[in-house]
Chain A
Amino acid sequence: MNLWLTILLAGLATFLIRYSFIGAAGRVNAPAWFARMLRYVPIAALTALIWPDLLLPAGELQLSLHNPRLLAGLIAALVAWRSQNIFLTIAVGMGALWGLQWLL
């Protein structure tokens, strides 16, 4: 599919999701199971992108201390957990990656 068309469809899908209940003007309520499931959407969808980037940096499983992305990602996760600060997480994670790439 052409990239422009892809983006237009992705934008349309995003808009329709945002408009859904507003458009229904309070006549439709979100079913409870749907609301429950949505809680896990960001966790599940973003994890699907995080783990392969850390564990399969070259398309193959690399569970070792010589994998700088895995180590830097774990350090960043620790920073995110303690600080809850997005920018500190990115800064420390990038610094760790550069340091480890230079060391290893």
Chain B
Amino acid sequence: MSTPAPAPSPALTPASARQEFTAGLAAVSPLLLGAVPFGLIYGALAVQAGIPPPLAIAISSIVFAGSAQFMITKLVAAATPGLLIVLSVAIINLRHALYSAALADKLAHLPLRWKLLLAYLLTDEAYAAALRRLQRSGDASLIHWHLMGTGLGLWIVWQLSCIAGVVLGGRIPQAWSLDFAGTLTFIAIVVPLLKDKPALAAMAAAGVVAVLVFALPYKLFIIAAALSGMAMGVLVERLVARQGAQA
């Protein structure tokens, strides 16, 4: 991986493509271990939410996004109308636009089929691994092979663990309150993000609005709360910046 090759390497020599692919797999492998329990819990929750097993499995490859899939199980369990499920999934996955923007330059030269495939495989994990790869010195012209390694590795493990979860899911008693594991996952994702005032304000605004307007029809509280939180985060960020400028 740390090949001392400062000269621009000839495009797509098979060896270095394979090296990048393997490096991608290696970069994502610690996360693969983590994806297994996640997939298991998702599969079990999907079945308990009343999603037919074939669809519960298909969601993992159609949507292929962990937190969105957990969200879907929650929304289906609460009989949320389809359009609002689509909208909620789009909002939670908006962050991928940022990854897409960050990688666009690096992938611009690739043929369409590469762009389509890598976009489909673009997850939090693949993006994080690609960022670390780009920060290391050296030629990054084969970064698409790296993304392919992380993406495919994660895809395969994710599908298998979701299938296992769907198969096991029906046998887990309701009394275990497994649905709470979904909420705990969200807590584990959100808490480390609360690093500054704007982030805390975004969380507080979204939480308060969600509780206040919870009774709105069609689970509209999710979208109302998400938009309030985003607006509050940007607003407080601006206020903090202004205070900093005055000080």
Ordered by A's residue number, 14 sampled pairs between the chains whose C-beta atoms are within 8 Å are A17-B94, A18-B96, A25-B115, A28-B104, A30-B101, A40-B233, A42-B67, A42-B92, A43-B206, A43-B233, A47-B210, A48-B210, A89-B187, A93-B184
Contact B199 A52 (CB under 8 A): no
Question: Which residues of B from 172 to 221 have beta carbons under 8 Å from A?
Answer: 176-177, 180-181, 183-194, 198-199, 202-203, 205-211, 214, 221
A81 to B99: give the CA distance in the assembly, Å.
Answer: 25
Would you call B55 an interface residue if the criterion is a C-beta within 8 Å of the partner chain's C-beta atoms? yes
Would you call B148 an interface residue if the criterion is a C-beta within 8 Å of the partner chain's C-beta atoms? no
Q: Mark A25-43, 1 if CB is under 8 A from B, else 0.
A: 1101110011111111111
Minimal Cβ-Cβ distance residue in B for A56:
B214
Q: How large is the interface on A (under 10, 10 to 19, 20 to 34, 35 or more residues)?
A: 35 or more
Contact B234 A50 (CB under 8 A): no
Contact A48 B222 (CB under 8 A): yes
A18 to B118: give the CA distance in the assembly, Å.
Answer: 9
Contact A21 B94 (CB under 8 A): no
Pick the contact of A19 from B85, B86, B119, B181 — CB < 8 Å? B119
Give the residues in chain A near B191, CB-CB below 8 Å. 77, 80-81, 89
Give the residues in chain A near B187, CB-CB below 8 Å. 50, 73, 76-77, 80, 89, 93
From DSSP, what is the main secondary structure of chain A's interface residues?
helix
Minimal Cβ-Cβ distance residue in A for B98:
A38
Most buried by B among A2, A10, A72, A77: A10
CB distance from B90 to the nearest CB of A (A): 4
Would you call B17 an interface residue if the criterion is a C-beta within 8 Å of the partner chain's C-beta atoms? no
A-B contact sample (14 more), CB < 8 A, given A38-B97, A93-B180: A8-B62, A9-B86, A10-B72, A10-B89, A19-B116, A21-B103, A22-B122, A26-B108, A30-B98, A35-B101, A43-B203, A45-B226, A47-B206, A89-B187
